[in-house]
Chain A
Amino acid sequence: SQQGEEDPQALSIQEGENATMNCSYKTSINNLQWYRQNSGRGLVHLILIRSNEREKHSGRLRVTLDTSKKSSSLLITASRAADTASYFCAPDVGRDDKIIFGKGTRLHILP
């Protein structure tokens, strides 16, 4: 298993702007997942990108994966107040290994 490291630790932007957060990891992966957590609640799965994919979209979310740099980015376009949350990446090495999370990126959307 391995833990992703999200960057930045915290991010504040104006509503309507785009938010970008990054994730770095250390070893080869099977896929990488992004999750969102609203304050004090369970995590919600956002998107999964496989190691042979470079980009994936889901609504206002765009995820990229660069396996050569061992990094991923999550872009949220046209941010809304409801996007205020912590975002976690989860590199998955497969082989029935556990999924562990880093500290996350705390995103705050300003009105």
Chain B
Amino acid sequence: KAGVTQTPRYLIKTRGQQVTLSCSPISGHRSVSWYQQTPGQGLQFLFEYFSETQRNKGNFPGRFSGRQFSNSRSEMNVSTLELGDSALYLCASSFNSGANVLTFGAGSRLTVL
């Protein structure tokens, strides 16, 4: 079966712009989690959605938001981009919320100039 698909794979934005990243989970998976990975901070948890509801949230400012659709696809949005938002954004899906094996996508690499 198809894996987790993230789009776009690469993107370049300038400070102050906003960006939307998309994640299509494995068919049948209802939970989608988002992570930000940077060389300095490592892999940090952003949020998790399960059945269109945000179930868990990390410690990120309100500029970072997300949502999940009825088909379990998820989007995350970052508004008013800052240089420090440059990162690899990873999406992972699992069958249930928490306590399950995560299947990751290849990531979306965002560069903010």
| Interface residues of A, Cβ cutoff 8 Å to B | 1, 30-31, 33, 35, 40-45, 48, 88, 90, 92, 94-104
Contact = CB atoms under 8 A, between A and B. Distances in A.
Contacts of B88: 40
A42 B105 contact: yes
6 contacts: A40-B107, A42-B90, A92-B98, A96-B97, A98-B33, A99-B45
B-side interface mostly = strand
Contacts, number: 70
Given A96-B55, A101-B45, 17 more contacts: A30-B99, A33-B102, A40-B88, A40-B109, A42-B106, A43-B43, A44-B104, A45-B102, A48-B101, A95-B98, A95-B99, A96-B96, A97-B56, A98-B56, A99-B45, A101-B43, A104-B43
